[in-house]
């Protein structure tokens, strides 16, 4: 066990690795005495050094392959020495050159494995000693170890301790047997002594050597450490380390063939397992190294992993018995040998670096790193240059930063001056407006002021108004020209951040809404080139009014909003007033077109929608707020003008002027412009006169209603309708104060008429859900009332004519029935489930026929078709279910549709009738 202390294994390197096949030999032992006594004869013959043939006298075995070729084939007459010389020596002696090697003996029990391996081991060790003696310049250290694998337990054959040894995975040496005794070989006698120990250990607990050896694998290992100067040069002080394994495998026969049971069967299973794994490994390795090689499936293959397709030279000596009764096992052995022949290994010279060599190598590595460091230091000068450049650039950036800040300050100063100028201009215009404006506009301004109060753009209302009118500061989607974020905002650490008005995130919702409310008015007031644009706006309003479409007014409004962006300081008061009128017209137009949305709670969403081009037409919040926030209705002529034209063109629009409380507001708010044209005044006078007349009528109606004379009021109302039925809107235009009562009256009438007109329940439900007293419902209620009244009147006439028709129907039916054969009639009775007396059922049948067909011209054809249907149904040509569906005994009228459908569907079959 000494030896290993002289070497500190640091690393293993390989030299001159090359791929080579396993050297495979077959040895055929001679017939033993027992076999000879049985007059057994050998069917195997080695025809040359590499081929063995099977000369079978048994017909059923003639089909087997008869010739097998290997690296070497040894016949009965071959000695173990010859087998060693030609089949193992080269491999075994590779170990002195630092190459791992392994020699296997594979074969069935009593085929001569132990006989052969014992001889080969001795020859090999003997030759190794010879080699050492012949190479005194080299230092050699020989270590001997021996192990036995029995029932998958590894046992140290050089130790008296029979405790199974564990296998460890060493990253450098592969699988290592833990605590395995490594005896340093002193000389030849020592070797023979150790062999004897191994033999003795294999006897423990066993009745005979043969029995034990046949069921266990024995591995004798000789490890040789030698100087590598001869191979790696005179200056190289590395040491070569390699080992040679002499492996005597257990008998390869199958467990079933051993006729064993109990403990022997278990042994057989373990043996089979390890040999099966060995066979699998060999077979897989013979096909190449792709895929998983199951070395770890058995301890044998794990320990010998390097010897099997790894870093080792390998020789496989397959022993076989010539006995005829072993021919099957012999053949299996040859097949295994054939596979092993294809396995390639990659044997390499394993050099282990000594301490001295390691120190030298480390010194070289250190020198190399020092030189690299020096070269790095020289290159670092370049780095210092670049760092200086970087510093210079940073200074430049700082300088530029300062300049930018200075420029920003100058810009802010200039900006504040411009704002002052704008404010002074606003003051002047505001004072001018204040002189001309009616007192009512004060409230308007107050609203504007409150709307803008959150924005902190100006100190007073008029400033806000004029500022918005002359600059785009408060215009929707616009910001003051010199305020707000710009491209250099990142550099403006101290610059005040003013949010963009068009940015929703810039304000909270309320602020956004109020801002937009103001913008809708002020944008128009602030338009530049206002004289030219006024004509354009008037033209657009005119177009809107003519087309009566929803999209166009919005488009016009949007276009107007878009034009607001340009500010023009040359704005006069008159032009502003004109613009207000134009805008008012546009708003009125919109209001008249979208009355239903007046009470919509949406605000900001509406605004958003209106600010984008969308097919969804909604009234903007700004328009709504304008209407709601306007001063109260003024009865002065001037204030009423400018709106009547629109009202006349859109008679239904009046409904939008009332909210649920009956408060009149939007109409009046639209009439607040003080400067109106003469034509508009005249039109408005006419409208006001009409309004007053209607108010009087409504008052009368209300009085009648209060005294319980509902009927009279209704008659009066009906007279009004009759008098001017074409002006439905005028009739339906209720006064807000009376509408609540009027609504109830009309609804009551409609409900009464429902019963008379047999209105469906669904229709009634929808009515209650949809109409809850909104003034805009007036038109519909009126239409519904008229419609139901008409239906009720006509139903009386229908009732009288119905009787006559029924009589006529009966008569016709009877005539038809006369034409029917009795059998057909009976079928119809049966089909329609008519079970009364003859007279009654004839009448019923006649009535039914008449009722269902209803067409005088086709009554006879129909009757024939009915008969045919019945006939077809009975003969199975029409499915009874279908027939029953059409003619099932339901109340008259209900089945008429089904009957008619059947008739029409069968019309194509009329030619058959």
Ligand X SMILES: Nc1ncnc2c1ncn2[C@@H]1O[C@H](COP(=O)(O)OP(=O)(O)OP(=O)(O)O)[C@@H](O)[C@H]1O
Compare residues 114 and 277 and give the one whose CB is closer to ligand X: 114
| 205 marked among binding-site residues | no
Residues 292-321, one symbol each (x = binds ligand X by CB under 6 A, - = not), give ---------------------------x--
- Please give the Cα distance from 90 to 78 (Å, whole number): 18
Compare residues 251 and 469 and give the one whose CB is closer to ligand X: 251
**Interface residue with ligand X, options 24, 26, 29, 629 (CB under 6 A):** 29
Closest distance of CB 201 from ligand X, Å? 15
Choose one: 28-36, 84-92, 230-238, 268-276; the region binding ligand X (CB under 6 A): 28-36
Give 901's DSSP letter.
H
- Joined together, the tokens standing for residue 341 give 């022949």
Site for ligand X in 317-346 (CB under 6 A): 319
Q: CB neighbours of 673 closer than 8 A, spacing ≥ 6?
A: 577, 580, 581, 584, 639, 641, 642
Choose one: 108-116, 708-716, 807-815, 889-897; the region binding ligand X (CB under 6 A): 108-116
| 18 marked among binding-site residues | no
Residues 206-245, one symbol each (x = binds ligand X by CB under 6 A, - = not), give ----x--xx-------------------------------
Closest distance of CB 250 from ligand X, Å? 6
Question: Distances from the Cα of 682 to the Cαs of 167, 173, 674, in angstroms?
Answer: 117, 116, 15
**Interface residue with ligand X, options 75, 87, 112, 472 (CB under 6 A):** 112
The CB-side HSE value for 342 (13 A sphere, CA atoms) comes to: 14
Closest distance of CB 291 from ligand X, Å? 31
Site for ligand X in 530-549 (CB under 6 A): none
Residue 732 sits in the site that holds ligand X (CB under 6 A): no
- Please give the Cα distance from 481 to 829 (Å, whole number): 94
Compare residues 321 and 537 and give the one whose CB is closer to ligand X: 321
Choose one: 24-32, 383-391, 605-613, 793-801; the region binding ligand X (CB under 6 A): 24-32
- Please give the Cα distance from 808 to 816 (Å, whole number): 12
- Please give the Cα distance from 670 to 656 (Å, whole number): 12
Q: CB neighbours of 497 closer than 8 A, spacing ≥ 6?
A: 485, 489
**Interface residue with ligand X, options 9, 14, 32, 611 (CB under 6 A):** 32
Best CA proximity match to 449, nearest among 438, 436, 434, 460: 460
**Interface residue with ligand X, options 72, 89, 113, 326 (CB under 6 A):** 113
**Interface residue with ligand X, options 75, 107, 553, 631 (CB under 6 A):** 107
**Interface residue with ligand X, options 101, 114, 348, 451 (CB under 6 A):** 114
- Please give the Cα distance from 221 to 165 (Å, whole number): 16
Compare residues 213 and 239 and give the one whose CB is closer to ligand X: 213
Residue 42 sits in the site that holds ligand X (CB under 6 A): no
Closest distance of CB 79 from ligand X, Å? 8
Closest distance of CB 286 from ligand X, Å? 23
Closest distance of CB 9 from ligand X, Å? 35
| 109 marked among binding-site residues | yes
DSSP annotation string for 138-164: S-EEEEEEEEEEETTEEEETTSS--PP
First to last CA, the chain: 120
**Interface residue with ligand X, options 42, 101, 110, 298 (CB under 6 A):** 110
Alpha carbon of residue 79 to chain centroid: 76
270, 151 contact by CB (below 8 A): yes
Compare residues 271 and 785 and give the one whose CB is closer to ligand X: 271
221, 245 contact by CB (below 8 A): yes
Closest distance of CB 29 from ligand X, Å? 4
Q: CB neighbours of 877 closer than 8 A, spacing ≥ 6?
A: none
244, 100 contact by CB (below 8 A): yes
| 112 marked among binding-site residues | yes
Closest distance of CB 49 from ligand X, Å? 17
Residue 813 sits in the site that holds ligand X (CB under 6 A): no
Closest distance of CB 134 from ligand X, Å? 30
Site for ligand X in 549-568 (CB under 6 A): none
Site for ligand X in 426-455 (CB under 6 A): none
Choose one: 111-119, 173-181, 275-283, 392-400; the region binding ligand X (CB under 6 A): 111-119
- Please give the Cα distance from 316 to 666 (Å, whole number): 112
| Residues paired with 264 in a beta bridge | none
Compare residues 29 and 302 and give the one whose CB is closer to ligand X: 29
Closest distance of CB 210 from ligand X, Å? 5
Closest distance of CB 230 from ligand X, Å? 37
Compare residues 319 and 620 and give the one whose CB is closer to ligand X: 319
DSSP annotation string for 537-574: HHHHHHHHHHH--SHHHHHHHHHHHHHTTS--S---HH
Residue 115 sits in the site that holds ligand X (CB under 6 A): yes
Closest distance of CB 165 from ligand X, Å? 22
- Joined together, the tokens standing for residue 602 give 């949406």
Compare residues 29 and 733 and give the one whose CB is closer to ligand X: 29
- Please give the Cα distance from 89 to 312 (Å, whole number): 14
Torsion of CA 577, 583, 584, 587, to 10 degrees: -170
Residues 63-102, one symbol each (x = binds ligand X by CB under 6 A, - = not), give ----------------------------------------
Closest distance of CB 152 from ligand X, Å? 18
Closest distance of CB 24 from ligand X, Å? 17
Residue 868 sits in the site that holds ligand X (CB under 6 A): no
Q: CB neighbours of 104 closer than 8 A, spacing ≥ 6?
A: 247, 249, 307, 314, 315, 316, 317
| 341 marked among binding-site residues | no
**Interface residue with ligand X, options 251, 322, 528, 734 (CB under 6 A):** 251
Compare residues 83 and 865 and give the one whose CB is closer to ligand X: 83
**Interface residue with ligand X, options 97, 100, 102, 111 (CB under 6 A):** 111
Size of residue set near ligand X by CB under 6 A? 16
Q: CB neighbours of 805 closer than 8 A, spacing ≥ 6?
A: none
589, 544 contact by CB (below 8 A): yes
| 207 marked among binding-site residues | no
DSSP annotation string for 738-750: HHHHHHHHHHHHH
Compare residues 110 and 609 and give the one whose CB is closer to ligand X: 110
- Please give the Cα distance from 702 to 739 (Å, whole number): 10
- Please give the Cα distance from 781 to 796 (Å, whole number): 23
- Please give the Cα distance from 28 to 872 (Å, whole number): 99
Angle formed by the axes of helices 604-611 and 509-525, nearest 10°: 50
Question: Distances from the Cα of 907 to the Cαs of 592, 817, 827, 862, 903, in angstroms?
Answer: 55, 20, 21, 9, 6
User: Residue 309 region, left (φ>0) first, then alpha (ψ -120 to 50), else beta?
Assistant: left
| 475 marked among binding-site residues | no
Closest distance of CB 199 from ligand X, Å? 12
- Please give the Cα distance from 649 to 593 (Å, whole number): 11
**Interface residue with ligand X, options 42, 109, 239, 330 (CB under 6 A):** 109
Residue 199 sits in the site that holds ligand X (CB under 6 A): no
| 107 marked among binding-site residues | yes
Compare residues 213 and 237 and give the one whose CB is closer to ligand X: 213
Question: Distances from the Cα of 518 to the Cαs of 430, 468, 555, 672, in angstroms?
Answer: 16, 9, 19, 17
- Interface positions with ligand X (CB under 6 A): 29-30, 32, 107, 109-115, 210, 213-214, 251, 319
Residues in the annotated binding site for ATP? 107-114
Q: Which residues are known binding-site members? A: 107-114
């Amino acid at each position: 066990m000494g030896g290993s202390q002289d070497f500190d294994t640091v690393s293993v390197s390989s030299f001159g690795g090359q791929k080579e096949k396993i050297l495979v030999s077959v040895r055929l032992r001679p017939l033993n005495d027992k076999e000879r006594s049985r007059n057994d004869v050998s069917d195997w013959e080695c025809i040359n050094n590499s081929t063995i043939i099977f000369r079978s006298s048994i017909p059923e075995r003639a089909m087997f392959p008869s010739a097998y070729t290997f690296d070497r084939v040894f016949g009965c007459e071959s000695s173990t020495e010859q087998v060693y010389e030609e089949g193992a020596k080269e491999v075994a002696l590779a170990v002195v050159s630092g190459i791992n090697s392994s020699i296997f003996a594979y074969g069935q029990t009593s085929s001569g494995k132990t006989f052969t391996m014992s001889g080969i081991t001795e020859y090999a060790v003997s030759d190794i000693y010879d080699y050492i003696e012949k190479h005194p310049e080299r230092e050699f250290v020989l270590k001997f170890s021996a192990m036995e694998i029995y029932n998958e337990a590894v046992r140290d054959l050089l130790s008296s301790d029979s405790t199974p040894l564990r296998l460890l995975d060493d990253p450098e040496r592969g699988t290592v047997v833990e605590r395995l005794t490594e005896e340093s070989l002193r000389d030849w006698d020592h070797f023979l002594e150790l062999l004897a120990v191994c033999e003795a250990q294999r006897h423990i607990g066993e009745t005979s050597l043969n029995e034990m050896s046949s069921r266990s694998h024995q591995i004798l290992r000789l490890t040789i450490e030698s100087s590598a100067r001869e191979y790696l040069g005179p200056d190289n002080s590395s040491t070569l380390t390699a080992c040679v394994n002499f492996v005597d495998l257990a008998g390869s026969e199958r467990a079933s063939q051993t006729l064993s049971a109990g403990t022997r069967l278990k042994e057989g299973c373990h043996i089979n397992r390890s040999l099966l794994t060995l066979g699998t490994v060999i077979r897989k390795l013979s096909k190449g190294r792709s895929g998983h090689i199951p070395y770890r499936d058995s301890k044998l293959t794990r320990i010998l992993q390097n010897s099997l397709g790894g870093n080792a030279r390998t020789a496989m000596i397959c022993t076989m018995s010539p006995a005829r009764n072993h021919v099957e096992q012999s053949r299996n052995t040859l097949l295994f040998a054939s596979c092993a022949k294809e396995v390639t290994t990659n044997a390499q010279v394993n050099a282990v670096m000594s301490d001295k060599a390691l120190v030298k190598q480390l010194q070289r590595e250190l020198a190399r790193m020092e030189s690299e460091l020096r070269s790095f230091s020289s290159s670092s000068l370049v780095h210092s240059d670049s760092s200086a450049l970087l510093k210079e650039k940073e200074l430049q950036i700082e300088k530029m930063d300062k300049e930018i800040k200075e420029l920003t300050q100058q810009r802010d100063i200039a900006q504040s001056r411009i704002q002052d100028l704008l404010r002074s201009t606003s003051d002047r215009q505001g004072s001018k407006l204040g002189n001309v404006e009616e007192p009512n506009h004060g409230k308007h301004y107050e609203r504007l002021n409150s709307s803008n109060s959150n924005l902190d753009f100006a100190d007073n209302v008029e400033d806000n108004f004029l500022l918005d009118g002359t600059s785009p500061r408060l215009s929707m989607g616009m910001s003051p020209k010199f305020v707000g974020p710009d491209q250099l905002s990142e550099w403006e650490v101290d610059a005040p951040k003013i949010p963009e008005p068009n940015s929703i995130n810039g304000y909270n919702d309320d602020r956004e809404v109020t801002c937009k409310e103001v913008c809708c008015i002020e944008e128009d007031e602030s338009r530049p080139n206002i004289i030219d644009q006024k004509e354009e706006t008037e033209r657009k309003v005119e177009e809107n009014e003519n087309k009566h479409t929803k999209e166009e007014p919005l488009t016009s409004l949007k276009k107007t909003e878009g034009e607001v962006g340009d500010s023009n300081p040359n704005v006069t008061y008159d032009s502003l007033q004109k613009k207000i009128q134009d805008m008012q017209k546009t708003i009125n137009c919109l209001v008249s077109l979208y009355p239903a949305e007046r009470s919509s709670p949406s605000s900001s969403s509406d605004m958003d929608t209106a600010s984008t081009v969308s097919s969804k037409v909604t009234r903007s919040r700004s328009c709504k707020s304008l209407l709601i926030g306007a001063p109260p209705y003024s009865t002065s002529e001037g204030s009423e003008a400018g709106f009547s034209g629109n009202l006349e063109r859109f008679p239904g629009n009046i409904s939008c002027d009332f909210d649920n409380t009956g408060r009149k507001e939007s109409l009046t708010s639209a009439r607040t412009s003080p400067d109106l044209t003469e034509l508009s005044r005249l039109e408005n006078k006419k409208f006001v006169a009409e309004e007053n007349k209607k108010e009087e009528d409504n008052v009368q109606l209300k009085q009648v209603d209060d005294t319980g004379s509902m009927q009279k009021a209704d008659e009066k109302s009906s007279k009004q309708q009759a008098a001017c039925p074409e002006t439905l809107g005028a009739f339906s235009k209720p006064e807000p104060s009376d509408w609540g009562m009027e609504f109830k009256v009309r609804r009551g009438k409609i409900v009464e008429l429902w019963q008379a007109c047999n209105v469906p329940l669904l229709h009634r439900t929808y009515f209650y859900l949809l109409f809850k007293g909104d003034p805009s419902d007036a038109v519909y209620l009126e239409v519904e009332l008229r419609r139901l009244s008409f239906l009720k009147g006509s139903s009386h006439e229908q009732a009288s004519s119905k009787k006559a028709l029924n009589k006529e129907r009966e008569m016709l039916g009877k005539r038809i029935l006369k034409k029917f054969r009795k059998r057909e009639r009976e079928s119809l009775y049966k089909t329609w489930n008519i079970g009364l007396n003859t007279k009654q059922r004839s009448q019923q049948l006649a009535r039914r026929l008449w009722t269902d067909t209803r067409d005088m011209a086709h009554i006879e054809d129909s009757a024939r078709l009915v008969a045919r249907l019945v006939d077809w149904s009975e003969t199975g040509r029409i499915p009874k279910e279908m027939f029953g569906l059409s003619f099932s005994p339901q109340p008259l009228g209900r089945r008429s549709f089904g009957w008619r459908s059947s008739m029409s569907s069968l019309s194509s079959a009329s030619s058959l009738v």
